[in-house]
Amino acid sequence: MESMPKWSSSSSSCKARDETLHIVMFPWLAFGHMLPFLELSKLIAQNGHRVSLISTPRNIHRLPKLPPNLSPLINLVKLQLPKVDQLPQNAESTLDLPHHKVKYLMKAYDQLQQPMSQILSDLSPHWVIYDFAPYWFGPLASKLGISRVFFSVCVAPALCFLGPVPVLKRTSGEDDRTTPEDFTAKPKWIPFESKIGFKLFEIKSFFNDTSTNYANVPITFRFGAGIEACDVLAVRSSYEFEPEWLKLMEEVHMKPVIPIGQLPSSAYDDSFDETWYTMKESKWLDKQSNKSVVYVAFGGDTKPSQTQLTEIAFGLELSELSFFWVLRNRRGVDDTEVTELPDGFEERTKERGVVYTNWAPQLKILSHDSVGGFLSHSGLSSVVEALQFGKSLILLPFMADTGLIARHLEEKKMACLVPRDERDGSFTRNSVADSLRLVMVEEEGRIYRDKAKEMSGLFGNRAIQDKYVNNFVDYLKKHRPELAQEE
């Protein structure tokens, strides 16, 4: 363990010191989780409060550099993962592993209970904010008398769909869903009309994950234990976006629910920005017409199969649209299933497309005027980054939770989903091409372009975002243990 905080005990006044919070953040080891936790940390620090964000050394090194004005208030605590059989050396996030080996990362993560107990005892924070994965973290903090926030980086409808704690932990017979087919429709505790639900191929994958892929502790149990142990639920959402779902979350879980806004990403490391602006790929974007380019990326945790990759490639070719594709064809050194583009694809499309195989600054690409649409896996961070710049969404979800996000956005006319076979999830190059052209250029798809522009006023509005975080911080201040006792 490294980088324990050395907070100054001095302050301008006793009153200021007494009102300052110290909050510990503990995200799951996926960048789709760590980055929202970091963004929330920065917003809390802007309010003058101290944050200790705990992760592994390699992950902390890969996080965006902190702004100089906030770095004194945010301590990045490095915690070494224990060695676990079949977990490759230096594999510290889901980015480093093929999907079938994520269970070993979770196994190592679950072995952090004893060192985390020591860290919490040493730091004595007012609050901890934790993710879905450490089902043991909430009870551990509770035993130490620390107040607890369960932070969902997913949309409110997904948590509502999964159900209350007894359903999540399978401790009651309240859930009558017993087959994959049962999960393709909304459950009985959602009282209003909604198309929210899994496709059959998504829920089959989810069933497999909960039974085998997460160190023998199902995902749903992890959610249930985390929510059960918390004092308050924080969700990456807003009343402007999904008011009915936020209200339902409080009814389902019978706990305070506080939306903290969409957490639009702030700028990446300036040193990398300077490098990016001199690269040929950046200069290629500068030469393209306004809103003519489709940006293609499927996140750090998603790697399409060879069959899927082939259909996506041919779909891009058939669409005749310009594209910028950040292609990840391997997940870590232990991934033996390296995917390849169709023969001759890059040569045939070199006049109107870029295939980029290194890490790219997604925020910079999406903010570029030449980019008009985003073909994405529907990860919430990617969705927020696209909408904050008014980019239209074409979605191809590959994992269960992203399917729920995609369906929610589709229901709001905020995204177009590529048509797929509902049983096996297959799709064709023609369906990819047709969806891209619909959203990017055809008159029938104007609704998606208009909606993206409209939602940029919400997802990219820093004043609205600050309002939600300020409200959240006020709640934490009002309900921190020693203040509650004084009242």
Residues 358-374 have pLDDT tens digits of: 888 899 999 999 999 99
The predicted pLDDT at position 278 comes to: 73
Residues of the domain holding 239: 14-264+461-486
- How far apart CA 452 and CA 391 sit, in angstroms, is 6
pLDDT, tens digit (0-9, with 9 covering 90-100), for 62-76? 999 999 999 999 999
Mean pLDDT of 167-180: 83
Verify that 315 and 186 share a domain, yes or no.
Answer: no
Element (H, E) at 52: strand 50-55
DSSP string over 238-279: -TTT-HHHHHHHHHHH-S-EEE----------HHHHHHHHHS
Residue 346 forms part of a structural domain: yes
Contacts of the segment 437-440: beta carbons below 8 A, 24+ positions apart: 437/319, 437/320, 437/321, 439/373, 439/392, 439/393, 439/394, 440/291, 440/292, 440/294, 440/319, 440/321, 440/372, 440/373, 440/392
* Residues 6 or more apart whose Cβ sits within 8 Å of residue 307: 426
Q: What is the CATH number of the domain that holds 421?
A: 3.40.50.2000
The predicted pLDDT at position 172 comes to: 75
Verify that 138 and 239 share a domain, yes or no.
Answer: yes
Verify that 222 and 258 share a domain, yes or no.
Answer: yes
Residue 312 forms part of a structural domain: yes
Least Cα distance to 408 among 263, 236, 265 occurs for: 236
Verify that 235 and 367 share a domain, yes or no.
Answer: no
Verify that 209 and 348 share a domain, yes or no.
Answer: no
pLDDT, tens digit (0-9, with 9 covering 90-100), for 91-125? 999 999 988 889 999 999 999 999 999 999 999 99
pLDDT, tens digit (0-9, with 9 covering 90-100), for 207-220? 665 444 466 788 88
Residue 5 forms part of a structural domain: no
Verify that 140 and 59 share a domain, yes or no.
Answer: yes
- How far apart CA 215 and CA 350 sit, in angstroms, is 44
Residue 359 forms part of a structural domain: yes
User: Mean of the per-residue pLDDT values for the chain?
Assistant: 89
| Domain count for the chain | 2
The predicted pLDDT at position 6 comes to: 43
Task: Clarify whether 450 is annotated catalytic.
Answer: no
Verify that 23 and 97 share a domain, yes or no.
Answer: yes
Task: Clarify whether 33 is annotated catalytic.
Answer: yes
How far, rounded to the nearest angstrom, does the alpha carbon of residue 395 sit from its chain's CA centroid? 15
Q: Which of 81-85, 137-141, 478-482 has the lowest mean pLDDT?
A: 478-482
Residue 353 forms part of a structural domain: yes
The predicted pLDDT at position 485 comes to: 46
Verify that 254 and 364 share a domain, yes or no.
Answer: no
Q: Which of 269-278, 316-325, 470-479 has the lowest mean pLDDT?
A: 269-278
Verify that 242 and 323 share a domain, yes or no.
Answer: no
Which residue in 110, 131, 175, 401 is the catalytic one?
Answer: 131
Verify that 70 and 146 share a domain, yes or no.
Answer: yes
pLDDT, tens digit (0-9, with 9 covering 90-100), for 228-258? 999 999 999 999 999 999 999 999 999 999 9
- How far apart CA 76 and CA 74 sit, in angstroms, is 6
* Residues 6 or more apart whose Cβ sits within 8 Å of residue 400: 198, 202, 203, 205, 206, 209
Pairing of strands 22-26, 127-130: parallel
Residue 123 forms part of a structural domain: yes
Residue 3 forms part of a structural domain: no
Residue 458 tokens, joined: 């919400």
Q: Which of 2-16, 95-109, 331-345, 393-407 has the lowest mean pLDDT?
A: 2-16
Residue 396 forms part of a structural domain: yes
Verify that 133 and 25 share a domain, yes or no.
Answer: yes
The predicted pLDDT at position 215 comes to: 65
How far, rounded to the nearest angstrom, does the alpha carbon of residue 362 sit from its chain's CA centroid? 14
Verify that 318 and 236 share a domain, yes or no.
Answer: no
The predicted pLDDT at position 18 comes to: 60
- How far apart CA 27 and CA 133 sit, in angstroms, is 8
* pTM > 0.85: yes or no: yes
Place of tokens 């060695």: 83
pLDDT, tens digit (0-9, with 9 covering 90-100), for 15-52? 444 689 999 999 999 999 999 999 999 999 999 999 99
